[in-house]
Amino acid sequence: MDSSNDEALDIIVTNVVATFRTRCHLNLRTIALEGTNVIYKPEVGKVLMKLRKPMITASIWSSGKIICTGATSEDEAKLGARRLARCLQKLGFKVRFSAFKVVNVLAVCSMPFAVHLIDFTKNNRPIASYEPELHPAATYRIKNLKATIQVFSTGSLTVTGPNVQNVATAVEQVYPLLFECQKPLCK
């Protein structure tokens, strides 16, 4: 993370999205009526259930597939998912916890310097793209890591990737490139 730097860069994971299956059919109406903190959407066919302890929101489908969002770490996501499964078990469904997978991790990071986006884009032509008319940040996509980094002119980054390790690696990779096109801050 801090390969060519004295200070340490804080990568803060803000969101982890995970999916898992309960391997049994769920009756959404029962869940909707007997659970607290649930929102039932019959048109779409899913139930939104929000847990407080790990602050997560889960979308539950009747097929038994569940998507868990809002966790701040991979372990938390797993814990939340298990809690959710336990809750469903108590409601009376034969829930089995299977196929848990972390699908997406979103992290933010801040550089101690501002970045000159136009230079950055010029140096990294096909990989980076910057379209000020559409979005204020330059997008840098790393294919082998499957990670996307959005660089803002203030030096803050938003990184998305399939797991936390990839995200960290992505930041490490992009740091030297950003360092080249930096603009030292006055104050």
Contacts with another protein by CB under 8 A lie at 23, 32-37, 40, 42-43, 51, 53, 79, 82-83, 85-87, 89-91, 95-100, 114, 116-118, 121-122, 125-126, 129-134, 136-137, 152-155, 183, 185-187
Q: Which CB atom, from 35 or from 162, has the smaller least distance to another protein?
A: 35
Nearest to 84 by CA among 48, 42, 43: 48
Q: Which CB atom, from 153 or from 173, has the smaller least distance to another protein?
A: 153
Least gap, CB of 30 to another protein (angstroms): 10
Q: How many CB atoms lie under 10 A from the CB of residue 180?
A: 12
Q: Are strands 11-21 and 65-71 parallel, antiparallel or unpaired?
A: antiparallel
Q: Which CB atom, from 31 or from 107, has the smaller least distance to another protein?
A: 31
Residues in CB range of 41: below 8 A, 6 or more apart: 47, 48
Q: Which CB atom, from 3 or from 25, has the smaller least distance to another protein?
A: 25
